[in-house]
């Protein structure tokens, strides 16, 4: 039975806490909602949504004050080094525009060529695609458009990719390209820590690739990129041996990469004039920005503050993006079931890829079901107080992936919906 919005039960409101950014370096455990921060805001979201006529669930809510606090904190951590916004971690043009309008961000790190072409068609410039492409149709479109070629930089890490581009768009005009250096940490010959990205690991290999690109007509080397995922994307908070090992690995990796990246940049500058040297991510802003060879740092996840970014020692983002699901049944007195829930993040399968249950506190997944395709049973003390029509709030483990599941974000400020922004999906786009 449908429960009218007026009869939806709401958890009791708590005093509203300040949303001013916490100092970088503070550590706040984020296993569930924070009393006085998430709890107070989430308890009031339903009133704001109802007042705006947004009573359907699932619903995704972006807290404007939390977003702005996160952006300011990212800028503080970068200490004057420009940030390039990773669009995959946002996937909402309206949010991209808001963030790019601040003093801290310059340009976008796109994730596919079709996405970059689409963004360029809407007036975005300074677009670097963070991954190689094998989209022949997209390459032909790029080659045929003077404005797109001026705005978009392709990523390459091998001459094979150049061959593909030449075959897809024979005789193409000059295309802007950046070279990717593998930034993984290799303390021994047999051990690689970090993402398996570029085959180019050594400075001499990158210099050889740069020379090969420079010698080929139709290409211009304009930048370098190296993403240290083992530092930027691995939480390091905690007092146990694993956390200590992660912190030690990250310190050693950052030291090794700073030297190797500087040598690689110097080697490439002998054969090409570089407009930018990009590195890092939300979790490594401080260490990456401190490298003299770096001209910009990539960041995206820290804008929304998703679940996987709850566990860092040196920063603690506000929880800016939530989604709400309806309670629809009670299979037992101690169980409340919501419709939906199985929006699991990409990456190695593990509990940390499940959505974080943000509100009410005191809920957890059933171990035998976890987050379900169509329904998710929740247990715990709070489940006894939930009834059909109540809303449970979650946070996705990753920043941008939630926006592949919803058509729009309701932007809330001071208890009211100030805007409704379409996601990429809401604009009819599904790039990945």
Report pLDDT digits (tens) over 58-117: 999 999 999 999 999 999 999 999 999 999 999 999 999 999 999 999 999 999 999 999
pTM of the model: 0.89
Given a cut of 90, whether residue 6 has pLDDT beyond it is no
CATH number at residue 250: 3.20.20.10
Q: Are residues 162 and 16 in the same domain?
A: no
36/163 same-domain check: no
The rounded distance, in Å, linking the Cα atoms of 37 and 249 is: 33
Residues facing residue 379 across a β-bridge: 335, 364
Say if residue 272 is in the same domain as residue 349: no
Task: To the nearest 10°, report the CA torsion of 240, 78, 413, 42.
Answer: -10
Helices (H) and strands (E) in the chain, counts: 12, 19
Nearest one of 123, 122, 119, 101 to 110, comparing CA atoms: 119
Rounded to whole angstroms, the Cα distance separating 153 from 140 reads 14
**How far from the centroid of its chain's Cα atoms is residue 180's Cα?**
20
321 with 382, same domain: the answer is yes
Query: Is there a domain that residue 85 lies in?
Result: no
Domain annotation covers residue 54? yes
Q: Are 247 and 384 found together in one domain?
A: no
> Where is the domain boundary, 299, 327, 347?
299
- Residue 307, domain member (yes or no): no
Question: Are 22 and 143 in the same domain?
Answer: no
- Between helix 203-215 and helix 241-269 the angle, nearest 10°, is 40
Which token pair is 203? 């400075």
The reply to whether 104 falls in a domain is yes
**pLDDT at 409 exceeding the cut of 80:** yes
Nearest to 287 by CA among 226, 224, 222, 239: 226
Q: How far is CA 64 from CA 70, 168, 273, 418, in A?
A: 10, 43, 40, 9
Q: Final residue of a domain: which of 253, 275, 299?
A: 299
Specify whether 230 is located in the same domain as 101.
Answer: yes
Tokens 């912190």 locate to 247
pLDDT at 154 over 80: yes
* Structural domain for 281, as ranges: 91-299
Polymer length of the chain? 432
The residue out of 275, 299, 323 marking a domain boundary is 299
Q: Is the pLDDT of residue 17 over 50?
A: no
pLDDT (0 to 100) of residue 247: 92
- 73 belongs to a structural domain: no
- Claim to verify: residue 201 and residue 99 sit in the same structural domain: yes
Distances (CA, A) of 345 to 6, 24, 254: 33, 26, 27
Same domain, 202 and 106: yes
Looking at the structure, tell me whether residues 183 and 43 fall in a common domain: no
DSSP-derived letter for residue 202 is S
C-alpha to C-alpha distance for 365 and 354, rounded to whole angstroms: 10
54 & 175 share domain: no
Is residue 86 domain-resident? no
Q: Do 382 and 418 lie in a common domain? A: yes
Q: Which two tokens stand for residue 265?
A: 């940049």
In sequence order, what E strands does 181-257 have? 185-188, 191-193, 219-226
Q: What is the pLDDT of residues 49-64, one digit of tens each?
A: 999 999 999 999 999 9
- Output the CA torsion sign for 322, 415, 423, 93: negative
What confidence tier does 43 reach under pLDDT thresholds 50, 70, 90?
confident
* Residue 395 domain-assigned (yes or no): yes
Q: What is the reported pLDDT for 38?
A: 63
Residue 25 sits in a domain whose CATH number is 2.40.37.20
- Please say whether the beta carbons of 393 and 410 come within 8 A: no
Count of the separate structural domains present in the chain: 2
* 307-335 as b/e: b if 16+ CB within 10 A: bbbbbbbbbbbbbbbbbbbbbbebeeeeb
């Amino acid at each position: 039975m449908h429960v009218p919005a007026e009869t939806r039960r709401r958890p009791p409101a708590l005093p509203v806490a300040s949303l001013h950014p916490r100092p970088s370096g503070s550590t706040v455990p984020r296993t569930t909602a924070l009393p006085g921060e998430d709890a107070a805001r989430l308890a009031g979201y339903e009133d704001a949504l109802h007042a705006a006529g947004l009573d359907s669930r699932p619903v995704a809510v972006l807290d404007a004050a939390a977003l702005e606090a996160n952006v300011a904190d990212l800028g503080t951590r970068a200490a004057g080094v420009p940030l390039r916004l990773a669009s995959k971690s946002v996937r909402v043009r309206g949010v991209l525009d808001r963030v790019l309008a601040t003093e801290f961000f310059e340009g976008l790190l796109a994730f596919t060529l079709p996405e970059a072409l689409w963004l360029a068609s809407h007036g975005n410039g300074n677009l670097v695609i963070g991954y190689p492409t094998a989209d022949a149709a997209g390459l032909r479109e790029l080659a045929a458009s003077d404005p797109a070629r001026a705005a978009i930089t392709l990523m390459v890490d091998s001459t094979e990719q150049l061959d593909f581009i030449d075959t897809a768009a024979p005789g193409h005009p000059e295309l802007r390209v950046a070279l990717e250096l593998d930034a993984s940490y290799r303390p021994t010959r047999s051990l690689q820590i970090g993402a398996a990205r570029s085959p180019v690991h050594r400075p001499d290999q990158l210099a050889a690739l740069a020379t090969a690109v420079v010698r080929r007509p139709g290409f211009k080397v304009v930048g370098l990129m190296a993403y240290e995922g083992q530092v930027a994307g691995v939480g390091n908070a905690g007092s146990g041996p694993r956390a200590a090992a992660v912190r030690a690995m990250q310190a050693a990796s950052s030291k090794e990469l700073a030297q190797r990246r500087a040598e690689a940049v110097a080697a490439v500058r002998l054969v090409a004039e570089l407009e930018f040297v990009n590195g890092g991510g939300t979790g490594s802003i401080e260490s990456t920005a401190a490298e003299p060879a770096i001209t910009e740092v990539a960041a995206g996840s820290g804008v929304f503050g998703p679940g996987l970014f709850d566990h860092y020692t040196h920063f603690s983002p506000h929880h800016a993006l939530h989604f709400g699901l309806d309670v629809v049944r009670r299979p037992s007195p101690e169980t409340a079931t919501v419709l939906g829930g199985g929006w699991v993040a990409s990456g190695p399968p593990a509990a940390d890829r499940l959505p974080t249950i943000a509100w009410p506190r005191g809920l957890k997944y059933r171990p035998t079901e976890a987050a379900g395709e169509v329904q998710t049973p929740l247990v715990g003390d709070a489940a006894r107080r939930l009834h059909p029509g109540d809303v449970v709030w979650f946070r996705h483990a990753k920043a941008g992936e939630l926006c592949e599941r919803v058509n729009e974000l309701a932007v809330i400020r001071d208890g009211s919906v100030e805007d409704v922004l379409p996601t990429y999906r809401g604009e009819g786009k599904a790039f990945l």
